[in-house]
Amino acid sequence: MEYSIKSFSTSKERGSTNIKETNVEFGTTPESSKVLASPAELFLSSFSACIIKNVERFSKLMNFEYSKAEITVVAIRKEKPPRMDEIEYVLKVYSQDNKLNINLLKKNIEKFGTIFNTVKSSCSIKGEIEKINDEK
């Protein structure tokens, strides 16, 4: 499988990435970075999107229902050399389904997530998944 994107910037303003029918703007200056995502935040967004996508994927494979999922990601950046050193996440899956096996879901996400595995090869990742019993 191959992926392709196109990014560009306007001097002293902002950057933009075109992905299929989506345009994502990001900060390239101190001013634009105050209101737009930084490249580091976009990186973490890809990481979180990978996990959220796999909740949907594994809900079908593991045969469970859920109403929503949300994730909080926190990363620690090292300065020399500049890089992400530690990433921690908390994934909340809202579900009343007794078939939802949180341990198996975590194992599958951490084994089969493309972005997850790419990131795992360069920094430490700690995560937890919580099942939230939502009231319907």
How many Å apart are CA 64 and CA 67, to the nearest integer?
10
- Residue range 48-132 forms a domain whose CATH class is alpha beta
The C-alpha R_g of the chain, in whole angstroms, comes to: 17
Q: Which amino acid is at 131?
A: K
pLDDT at residue 114, as a whole number: 93
Give yes or no for a cis peptide into 39 (omega within 30° of 0): no
pLDDT at residue 96, as a whole number: 95
Residue 70 DSSP one-character state: E
How many Å apart are CA 111 and CA 108, to the nearest integer?
5
How many Å apart are CA 119 and CA 135, to the nearest integer?
35
pLDDT at residue 136, as a whole number: 56
How many Å apart are CA 106 and CA 87, to the nearest integer?
15
The candidate with the shortest Cα–Cα distance to 125, out of 57, 47, 50, is 47
pLDDT at residue 44, as a whole number: 97
pLDDT at residue 123, as a whole number: 95
Q: Is the overall model pTM greater than 0.75, yes or no?
A: yes
Per-domain residue ranges for the chain?
Answer: 1-37, 48-132
pLDDT at residue 135, as a whole number: 66
Residue 37 DSSP one-character state: B
> Which parts of 1-136 are beta strand (E)?
6-9, 14-19, 22-27, 68-78, 83-94, 124-132
Q: pLDDT truncated to tens, each residue of the chain (136 aa)?
A: 899 999 999 999 999 999 999 999 999 999 999 999 999 999 999 999 999 999 999 999 999 999 999 999 999 999 999 999 999 999 999 999 999 999 999 999 999 999 999 999 999 999 999 999 976 5
pLDDT at residue 134, as a whole number: 77
